[in-house]
Amino acid sequence: MRKAIFPGSFDPFTLGHYDILKRSLSLFDEIIVGVGRNNQKKTMFSEKQRLSFIENCFKDDKKIKVEAYQGLTIDFCKKVGASFIVRGIRNNGDFEFEKAIARTNRKLSKIETIFLLTSAKTSFISSSIVRELILNNGDYKQLVPNSVDF
């Protein structure tokens, strides 16, 4: 079984995340969306809300599971039996950052990282832009799945 995790804080889950996750389904038998707990990061949405946004979005898809985790992503992979990490790349900055993490993960484990380029129509979307729109009463609904409702 080819199992992967798609890790992130998903604060909130965006159409960019949705696109990467849907496109990666053809590559794996199961994908676990790992909602990371980072005590150093202040989130807008609670862990429960973030899990709910994603679970509701994929409630009918048996290949996708959603789980919170804390600590190293490679330790989470080992815990759930995943051999791959899926990451989305929007631009060169993302690539350089993700490349260093992927190389470190591969050095410390045998877990491979699979990079998917974001679609042109979602490449500008980031959780931080969505949070800024929410904080300033902007129209964020065009950038997130319908399940992101609060």
90 is catalytic: yes
2 is catalytic: no
9, 17, 50, 52: the active-site residue: 17
> In whole angstroms, what is the distance from residue 42 CA to residue 93 CA?
22
Give the contacts of 57 (CB within 8 A, at least 6 positions apart): 13, 18, 145, 146, 147, 148
26, 41, 62, 107: the active-site residue: 41
9, 24, 52, 127: the active-site residue: 127
> In whole angstroms, what is the distance from residue 120 CA to residue 24 CA?
16
Is 91 within 8 Å of 117 (Cβ atoms)? no
Residue 145, amino acid = P
3, 63, 78, 90: the active-site residue: 90
46 is catalytic: no
Residue 70, strand partner residues? 37
Give the contacts of 83 (CB within 8 A, at least 6 positions apart): 2, 3, 4, 77, 110, 111, 112
83 is catalytic: no
Catalytic residues: 17, 41, 90, 127
